[in-house]
Amino acid sequence: MTIKPLIILPDPVLRQVSKPIERVDADLQRLTDDMLETMYDAPGIGLAAIQVGVPRRMLVIDLSKEGEEKQPLVFINPEIVSSSDDRSVYEEGCLSIPDYYAEVERPAQVTVKYLDREGKEQSVVADGLLATCLQHEIDHLNGVLFIDHISRLKREMVIKKFTKASKSKAL
């Protein structure tokens, strides 16, 4: 397994819309393992393939707490098929926007259909943190970042800060 470099804001790759995965094969399994390793190393609770520069519709999640047994979840071609009218607010962060957190309001419950690691069709009804995490990572697959759900002023400040930081690293 390989820890992959994370794509960081303002990299335009993060705004790409990811392409559907046509088949589950050994290469995809390797990518899954690399993504999990990268997510655990970061450390984070979710990671979309685009965040490691792979514009494919896949994400990994593990909501287990430190010291608990790992419970990795793999979602290939995930699609939100329904969401509740009830809303919930969580403070979100993102491995591609390090050390920035903001409260984001999203549907409290979602139903997601997807293929699992073996390529079998699955469906999950998620609420709480899992619902928020799934929506956050599926947004990534559509070129949407969690900062797109906050006020324009706050979003512009974050983008400006990360653009300035990336320019100073390039010097």
Q: What angle do CA 111, 115, 119 make, to 5 degrees?
A: 160
Active-site position among 68, 79, 137, 156: 137
In 3D space, the residue among 158, 171, 129, 115 whose CA is nearest the CA of residue 44 turns out to be 129
Is 137 among the residues known to form the active site?
A: yes
Please tell me the number of Cα atoms within 13 Å of 136 on its side-chain side. Answer: 31
Phi-psi domain of 143 (left: phi exceeds 0; alpha: psi -120 through 50; beta: other): left
Within 8 A by CB and 6+ apart from 10, the residues are 159, 162, 163, 166
Cβ burial, residue 71 (10 Å; 0-12/13-18/19+): exposed
Contact (CB, 8 A) for 104 and 129: no
Given a contact cutoff of 8 angstroms between Cβ atoms, the answer to whether 75 and 57 are in contact is no
Which amino acids are annotated catalytic? 137
